[in-house]
Amino acid sequence: MADVLEIAGTRIEPGERRRVGIPIADSYGQGTATLNVVVVRGRRPGPVLFVSAAVHGDELNGVEIVRRLLEQKALRRLRGTLLAVPIVNVFGFTNQSRYLPDRRDLNRSFPGSPTGSLASRVANSFMTEVVAHATHGIDLHTGGLHRTNLPQIRACLDDDETRRLAHAFGVPVILDSSLRDGSLREAVRERDLPVLLYEAGEALRLDEIAVRAGMRGVLAVMRALEMLPRRAARRHDATSVVARRSFWVRSPSGGMLLSSLRLGHRVKRGEELGRIASPVQGDLTSVTTPAGGIVIGRATLPLVYEGDALFHIAVVDDAELVAGEVEAFRAALHPDGLADEPLRDGEDSGDRASG
């Protein structure tokens, strides 16, 4: 770790904490939009971890995770540097939109260019002013509009350090996920930086369990990197199972989806996941799965077209074991279920201070 870190012309010394505004683009009538980075530097050298949220502007859980992270008293004992970016896509966040005003997906625009489209310029600013200083990264996401995800890690597990940190994060399911062209994860991996993508919850919604799980996971990764002091294992720490593939079950017809299937549910090949009710003809069409596994994502809007993605199934070796882990994980993180970890604003907790 360099003695002096400089971001957008601002110098941050070891032991300092500063918010740095990175000018990214002029907008009409509102001056220059700014990408805010909160830099927390420990007095001792160590890894440089970026934690980013709202690359998709409508994904809110990560924004709250970053806010809570920055309130942790444990950061007083930080070793290394934390680069916390609560809102990457500031334009989409302002407009409650996944995309930028140029209608591009920021997470398909990396590494970007200083002379390209608006999305490309935002991506370039993030890469040059944040990622360029980092040794590791965590990118926080949710499901899309009207889709919710079980807390999960997506990562390229062919890298030993990435695999170690994915298991350290401590969620029941790790999806060995290929890289998407233009994604932040792809751009970071091309620089040989280990990076995790955390998925949990739904766009435009705050999910307390998803926020707690993410908060706890980020702190666990920081401990694994020796940025924070280690702690004793807790009885509700999750055992992660790797899924090598996943698939979506799609709607066989249009209508209203009738299903009470929960995230984390174990399903068997041929099992009925729900039914599609025709509001005009009155008939019901069964929705079944071609293979067994664990439900890690599902549609939340009951109105569906034929072909719509309804249930995301992760294929795992022992689905029954994973389903049990999910239930224990969910119970431990429930607002009323942390008897051994009180909800106070203290160090090492993943609590609300006010996801």
Which residue ranges make up each domain of the chain? 5-224, 246-333
Predicted TM-score of the model (pTM): 0.92
Query: Which tens digits make up the pLDDT trace of 74-116?
Result: 999 999 999 999 999 999 999 999 999 999 999 999 999 999 9
For residue 251, pLDDT over 70 is answered with yes
| Cα(60)–Cα(106) distance, integer angstroms | 16
pLDDT at 331: 84
State mean pLDDT over 60-82: 97
For residue 119, pLDDT over 50 is answered with yes
pLDDT at 234: 61
Mean pLDDT of the chain: 91
pLDDT at 2: 57
Pairing of strands 79-85, 44-53: parallel
For residue 340, pLDDT over 60 is answered with no
Query: Which tens digits make up the pLDDT trace of 159-199?
Result: 999 999 999 999 999 999 989 999 999 999 999 999 999 99
Q: Which CATH code is given to the segment(s) 5-224?
A: 3.40.630.10
Residue 235's pLDDT band (cuts 50, 70, 90): low
For 4-30, the DSSP string reads SEEETTEEE-TT-EEEEEEEEEEETTT
Q: CB–CB of 84/72 below 8 Å?
A: no
Which H helix or E strand runs over 284? strand 284-288
Query: Which tens digits make up the pLDDT trace of 283-308?
Result: 999 999 999 999 999 999 999 999 99
246-333: same fold as 5-224? no
Pairing of strands 293-299, 266-267: antiparallel
Architecture of domain 246-333 in this structure: Beta Barrel (2.40)
Which H helix or E strand runs over 199? strand 195-202
